[in-house]
Amino acid sequence: MKPVTVPFFISHQGCPHTCVFCDQRTISGANGTLPNVFQIRDKIDLWRSTAGERPLEVAFFGGTFTALPEDIQAELLAPLQPFLENGTVNSVRISTRPDCIDADHVAWLSERGVRTIELGVQSMDDAVLAASGRGHFAAASLNAIRIIKNAGLQAGAQLMPGLPKDTPLSSLASLEQVISAGADFLRIYPTVVIRGTELARRYTAGEFMPLSLERGVSLCKQLLQRAMQADIPVIRIGLQNEAGLNADSVLAGCRHPALGQLVRSQLYEDLICNFVSSGDHATVYSHPARLSDVVGTKRNNLRRQTERGVRMQVGVDDTLKKDELKVEMQDKCTIYSIVKDLHYSIHEV
């Protein structure tokens, strides 16, 4: 049973750097203060009352947890221990930088209930990391993933395609490297230009051009497909649409409130276009959980098929995998897969 995540935002706390893209307070919608013991306990009690039978996972998002003073880390984790002992909370998730991890400290975290560590990898290209002011090399990410996995914990990797000096090829190479290193899941956050950052200054001065929405979706669909082929979950695409992240704070870049659906919908549309031609009359079935992606945001996929001259109906089939479509045309019925039957060239982005 999938756990309910109880989130606490520790915006920018502990981080020793301000990267060119970063305004963490805006991204998280928090003001940088740390929750106290009473806030932690009260929030867990509140979420427990609405979670039903689902277990709880406490997550500290938005800051560099392991760069906080150890006594502060202990203060944040201490209120969780009774909940972990009585089974109310079954795990803890933290986020941190790859260069703020070592084996001894990961063991210390594990003893206090941490089961998942997400790393702000961003890129595995040293030139991109340097241009983005990350303050570490790609080797730090490989080492951090190895340490986390050796401790028996889940390792997540956050990637940011579209950073300065990044290319579609280097984005794909970064993905391949974190997969090979053993990352258990991914988040893909295409770069956006946030007001007040160094990246905003470069953008305004004409020194940096971010991915457009169209190019970002085109790149992310290929990254998502590759992750699917490797059976690595992508748990989010695009920054959450928090109150602090809006049209006033974002100057440019690949951003949409339903970016993940746009990306998945593009994969299904490409699959349909590969095997259904103008003039065809087809009924396309998907797994029930993917029907809205096949239809597309505001039914755009259906509209575009009509514009192509395709008469298409949609339905559901719960025997299908989530990456599959069953296409019926006349007396023929064929199952196609995003994983196996789509072939992209990264140069198309």
pLDDT in tens, the chain (349 residues): 788 999 998 866 656 667 888 875 554 444 557 899 999 999 999 999 998 889 999 999 877 899 999 999 999 999 999 999 999 999 999 999 999 999 999 999 999 999 999 999 999 999 999 999 998 999 999 999 999 999 999 999 999 999 999 999 999 999 999 999 999 999 999 999 999 899 999 999 999 999 999 999 999 999 999 999 999 999 999 987 654 567 678 999 999 999 999 999 999 999 999 999 999 999 999 999 999 999 999 999 999 999 999 999 999 999 999 999 999 998 899 999 999 999 998 765 6
Residues in CB range of 101: below 8 A, 6 or more apart: 66, 117, 119, 143, 144, 147, 148
Q: What is the pLDDT of residue 348?
A: 58
224: left (phi over 0), alpha (psi -120 to 50) or beta: alpha
Instruction: Name every residue whose Cβ is closer than 8 Å to that of residue 317 and which is 6 or more positions away in sequence.
Output: 285, 286, 287, 326
Say how far apart CA 296 and CA 262 lie, in whole Å. Answer: 7
Residue 245: what pLDDT? 67
- Helices 138-150/168-181 angle, 10° precision: 30
Q: Whole-prediction pTM value?
A: 0.92
Write down the pLDDT at residue 28: 47
Rounded CA gap, 7 and 184, in Å?
20
pLDDT for residue 13: 64
Domain extents in the chain: 4-257, 265-348
pLDDT at residue 343, as a whole number: 93
Structure confidence at residue 24 (pLDDT): 56
- 4-257 maps to which CATH number? 3.20.20.70
DSSP letter for 289, please: G
* Cα 161 → chain centroid: 11
Q: Which two tokens stand for residue 267?
A: 């994969």
- DSSP 8-state symbol, 240: -
How far, in Å, are 96, 179, 342 from residue 228 at the CA level? 25, 11, 12
CB 144 within 8 A of CB 124: no
Could you give the CA distance from residue 172 to residue 288 in angstroms, rounded to a whole number? 30
The encoded tokens of residue 307 equal: 């514009």
What are the start-end ranges of the H helices in 151-257? 168-181, 198-204, 213-229
Cα angle for residues 64, 70, 76 (degrees, 5° grid)? 75
**Does domain 265-348 sit in CATH 3.30.2320?**
yes
253, containing H or E segment? strand 250-253
